[in-house]
Amino acid sequence: MTYKIKYDLPHEIGNFSKEDIVKEGKGGADAFVFISMLYTKDGSFSMKVLSKDGSTGKEITNNDLWKVWSLLSNSLGEAEDLNEAKRKIASTAFNSLKELINNTK
């Protein structure tokens, strides 16, 4: 198997001002999620989720990953480059999650 991308995720954990981050031409966040994807010759697909929480230095929690997934479903529900059926599925997932969350408060 050959790969199309070789990556490294250098990052620093600390307290950085927006000015310093912009001056250095970098991005800033409290945490990040990176998804590495593989397309295989047989048409299957696999992925690995890499993450880092800047507060703990560990991977983000599944609770936070769940929040990311929930918000991603909202974005996909509005994505113009997806067909109507996929947008509807994503919107339905987001609205169902939102309703369930609101009902558990």
Closest by Cα among 31, 35, 41 to 11? 31
Average pLDDT over residues 7-32: 92
Instruction: Report whether pLDDT(10) > 90.
Output: no
Rounded-to-integer distance, Cα 36 and Cα 46, Å: 8
Point out which residues pair with 47 in neighbouring strands.
37
Model pLDDT, residue 105: 65
Q: What's the whole-number mean pLDDT along residues 6-15?
A: 90
Task: Identify which has the larger pLDDT, 19 or 100.
Answer: 19
Model confidence pLDDT, tens digit, residues 68-95: 998 999 999 999 999 999 999 999 999 9
Question: Which positions ≥6 away from 10 have C-beta within 8 Å?
Answer: none
Mean pLDDT of all residues in 1-15? 88
Structure tokens given for 8 = 């490294």
Structure tokens at 78: 């509005």
Element (H, E) at 39: strand 31-39
pLDDT digits (tens, 9 = 90+) for 31-59: 999 999 999 889 899 999 999 999 999 99
Name 66's Cβ contacts closer than 8 Å, sequence gap at least 6: none
The answer to whether residues 15 and 30 touch, using CB atoms and an 8 Å cutoff, is no
One-letter amino acid at 101 equals I
pLDDT band at 101 (very low <50, low <70, confident <90, very high): confident
